[in-house]
Amino acid sequence: MKHIPRKRFGQHFLSDHGIIDGIVSAIAPLPGQPMVEIGPGLAALTQPLVERLGRLTVIELDRDLALRLRLHGQLDVIESDVLKVDFTALAQTLREKAGQPGLRLRVVGNLPYNISTPILFHLLAHVQVIEDQHFMLQKEVIDRMVASPATGDYGRLSVMLQWRYAMENVLFVPPESFDPPPRVDSAVVRMVPHAEPAPLSVPVLEELVQVAFSQRRKLLRHTLGRWLEARQFAGHFDTQRRAEEVPVAEYVALAQVCS
């Protein structure tokens, strides 16, 4: 029976075999690697992945799709909202099965556009058990993720993710690659956690960056400057700039001092 895409789940199913081959090549799965796919849908990406891996864990919210996926002998299906999945516990389970305590997860998926950013931040909380991530997202989201300072795309998402990941836009995906076609361009991003990220309080960095970008067109003395004054910050930080002019490393260094 043909599955009808559900708008409430943001379902757009990948159907272009050339794009699928390109994504699988970018991921480069190897036999036995512990991999988790978010939103496998109709298994367009799932099948070539599991053929190379041997076994694959998938997370699917749609009950009908999860039922179909369970019929596949090489898939372990988690029927759940991905935002409720404990990836640290999942990594531990897969480590125990493999008998390799040092294994880290490889995470892939075509993320629903309506909750892509919450998923990225959810995974950020479990980054210590993740080897790498390859996601298809709305192109404008990836543009913001990988943006450089002093550009219009540079913002809160850029800083929060670049602190913890090295990221690369690896593949452009046009709307006609999907069924039904979305109204936006897509792309695939590679995210590799930094081996030795700067130690800091994540809530402090989140608050600092949120305040800084709350009024992008104003100089930071009107926003972050007041935040620093309230915290009795005694160091030096140039607030005669706009938020988008400050490199990630400076935000990170400031968060370290304020943590």
Query: For residue 230, with 0-12 CB atoms within 10 Å meaning exposed, 13-18 middle and 19 or more buried, which class applies?
Result: exposed
How far is residue 37's CA from residue 237's CA, in Å, rounded to a whole number?
42
Residue 169 annotated as part of some ligand binding site? no
For 120, list phi and psi in degrees, rounded to 5.
-60, -40
Residue 94 annotated as part of some ligand binding site? no
Residue 39 annotated as part of some ligand binding site? yes
Residue 12 annotated as part of some ligand binding site? yes
Helix, strand, coil shares, percent, the chain, to 5 = 45, 20, 40
How far is residue 50's CA from residue 38's CA, in Å, rounded to a whole number?
14
Q: Which of 88, 90, 98, 95 is nearest to 129 (CA)?
A: 88
Q: Collapsing DSSP states into helix, strand and coil, what is residue 216?
A: coil
**Residue 34 Cα distances to 131, 132, 155, angstroms:** 10, 11, 33
Residue 110 annotated as part of some ligand binding site? yes
How far is residue 146's CA from residue 153's CA, in Å, rounded to a whole number?
9
Distance of CA 59 to the CA centre of its chain: 15
Q: Which of 38, 41, 28, 83 is nearest to 58 (CA)?
A: 38
Residue 236 annotated as part of some ligand binding site? no
Cβ neighbours of residue 36 under 8 Å, at least 6 residues apart? Answer: 56, 57, 58, 59, 87, 90, 105, 106, 107, 108
Binding residue positions for S-adenosyl-L-methionine:
12, 14, 39, 60, 81, 110
Binding-site residues = 12, 14, 39, 60, 81, 110
